[in-house]
Amino acid sequence: MQNYGGTMSNKLRIRFSKTGRAKYISHLDLMATMRRGLLRAGVNLKYSEGFNPHPYMSAALPLSVGLGSVCELLDFGAAAGYIPPDDLAVRLTAALPEGIEVFEVYASHRKFADIKWTGINGSLTFDAPRPNAARKLTQRFAATSIIISKKTKSGTSEVDIVPLIDRVDFEGEGEVILKARVHAQNPSLTPHNLLSALSGEYAELTPDFAMFTRTEVYDANMNVFR
């Protein structure tokens, strides 16, 4: 086992961003990209045993294609050798495509299952003016119940998303800025689920173009998760 960050561990965590053109890398391709980056950075990865060995790697809350993030987390197993965490972060960034920047590498014993909430920033734009769009959006999400059709593992079901929203704020006119904190998993609430609430009498508030970025992840007590 290797001493990373003062902790004896061969399981390490990477905190990184996925922005720009990297937003369009699928989850499976991202895992392959991170594996190659780790190997290029000189990491001796730990592999499973058996006829089809694979590296011990897992990501928290896989992103949909097109969504950006500045708080991605990925765990991997190191088999042998030691690279100082700060050096490894620099090496990894240099070995990865544009848009993926590694902020830190550290040992962590917290499980990804402890993540309960995630912060989201969004930019909503309209081809034609929407007077008082931010105020109307605020009113919409102040409702005591908002039912949408949401895809689940078993199909599609009607879900009230209000309990899955901790906060959601809107500001601006021509471009409306969204800042929200929503449930991360079991069940999750995605930015596109939020836009699904803009139907019927609220359809005019549906943006013609929207971009979203995951900004932070939190545990059940709203503490930043690391």
Q: Tokens 């991997």 belong to which residue?
A: 76
Q: Are the C-beta atoms of residues 219 and 198 closer than 8 Å to each other?
A: no
Q: Which tokens hold the place of 48?
A: 């499973």
pLDDT of residue 117: 98
Q: Which residues, given as ranges, of the chain have pLDDT below 70?
A: 1-9
pLDDT of residue 80: 76
Query: What's the pTM?
Result: 0.90
pLDDT of residue 155: 81
Q: Which domains does the chain have, with CATH numbers?
A: 2-109 (3.30.70.580), 114-218 (3.30.70)
CA angle 55, 57, 63 (to 5 degrees): 135
Q: Tokens 């970025």 belong to which residue?
A: 213
Q: What are phi and psi of 11, to 5 degrees?
A: -110, 120
Q: How far apart are CA 154 and CA 157, in angstroms?
A: 9
Count CB atoms within 10 A of the CB of residue 208: 10
pLDDT of residue 51: 83
pLDDT of residue 151: 80
Q: Tokens 């920033």 belong to which residue?
A: 121
Q: How far apart are CA 99 and CA 82, in angstroms?
A: 26
